[in-house]
Structure 1
């Protein structure tokens, strides 16, 4: 028997209004879930962008690699003054630079051996040093001959006397080969000799290994 009391509804009974309310509640829940998913995706995307392009910048580094920077030290410069050349110095002697890297020209002297025994037009022995007492020095011999053939003969004789060659190559001036150079082991140990020819001029420098090689590379003749 159904209870006919006013306002009474059986437990299993649902009015049309209840059904509408349930559908609205489910729709609101679905919308909230969709909004939550969208917000989460936006947050994830923002984090990915910040990580890739701002910190630590993996994507930016991959797309635009930064070039390696090589810092090259400035060449050493002298702290002493070169010795003045005599007022009657020849053009060849005057061409000997006042300084090479940290070394300055000291008192030049005539190389009588190259003049008397090798028929040089003129030849000079020039010491280059850092100007300090007991400091590093190199000894330069520089001579000039009447023609390239005579200079080549002297160059070959100096090379033979210097010993075994450890490196050699062409001497270039404005891209043109004007002679050759050779690096040999000097005596005592720890020293080297570089001998080279530039046209009618022949040069030989002796001194500590690395210093001699740097001196040759920087020498302008």
Structure 2
């Protein structure tokens, strides 16, 4: 009779084996939980930072636009290419006339038939040495009222001959004070005229349209 040997250990129940094979280690179960916790913390930090940035931008005072300083460019003052001619200073008025005005040089003076009541009347020529010319009519009157009347007549006469001329008025400043107005009339690419009064002296200059205003501004009388 054969003796049967008893197994040394009791067989493991099927339920136990099944449970042991399908079980997940504890450290593997904790890893997804930790990852989810870290991602949640990072997301919260990002939201808080965005909120703080938005609050700071909302409360910040708007910055005023910065205006750059103005830059002034000064062109060199024109000088005459021609030499002023010699002259005899017969009267104080003739002596007061300048030798040069910007690029214009004194080229001669001659007496003119003046308006009624005029004490002195001259036609003075200034040239730039390049073919340009300004004719300046100078008249000395007895009083300022007569001077204003003569100036108006000269300005109106130029306007009648040049009806398409553009008219501009500029202040006449003498000794730092405004003493009246100058009338500037210009024709595009043609001639121009400036008429003004200094006390009892009437000055009426005719020359290139693009130069006549500068001539008036620079003239010392």
Count how many residue pairs are aligned between Structure 1 and Structure 2: 194
Alignment partner of 2:113: what SS?
A: helix
Residue 100 to residue 33, structure 1, CA distance change in 2 (3 Å): farther
Deviation string 1:120-179 (CA, Å, 9 cap, x unpaired) is 3333322222223x3x22111122223213323322332343234752545343343x34
Name 1:97's counterpart in structure 2. Answer: 98
In structure 1, stretches of 5+ residues that fail to align are 43-61
In structure 2, stretches of 5+ residues that fail to align are 1-9, 50-62
Matches within 5 A, 1:12-27: 12-13=22-23, 18=26, 22-27=29-34
Q: Is the 8 A contact 2:98 2:106 kept in 1?
A: no
Separation of aligned partners in 2, 1:63 and 1:156: 51
Alignment partner of 1:106: what SS?
A: strand
CA displacement at 1:201 relative to structure 2: 0.8
Deviation string 1:162-203 (CA, Å, 9 cap, x unpaired) is 234752545343343x344333467xx822222221211100
Separation of aligned partners in 1, 2:11 and 2:172: 123
Query: Within the alignment, does 1:11 sit opposite 2:27 as a pair?
Result: no
Q: Is the 8 A contact 1:184 1:192 kept in 2?
A: yes
What is the TM-score with the length of structure 2 in the denominator?
A: 0.63
Query: Within the alignment, does 1:150 sit opposite 2:159 as a pair?
Result: no
Residue 22 to residue 100, structure 1, CA distance change in 2 (3 Å): farther
Separation of aligned partners in 2, 1:80 and 1:121: 34
Separation of aligned partners in 2, 1:171 and 1:2: 127
Residue 83 to residue 35, structure 1, CA distance change in 2 (3 Å): same
Alignment partner of 1:215: what SS?
A: helix
CA displacement at 1:78 relative to structure 2: 1.6
What is the TM-score with the length of structure 1 in the denominator?
A: 0.63
Residue 193 to residue 2, structure 1, CA distance change in 2 (3 Å): farther
Residue 96 to residue 23, structure 1, CA distance change in 2 (3 Å): farther
Name 2:208's counterpart in structure 1. Answer: 208
Residue 27 to residue 121, structure 1, CA distance change in 2 (3 Å): same
Deviation string 1:38-83 (CA, Å, 9 cap, x unpaired) is 68x99xxxxxxxxxxxxxxxxxxx7434448566462651242541
Cα RMSD after superposing both structures: 4.3
Query: Within the alignment, does 1:141 sit opposite 2:151 as a pair?
Result: no
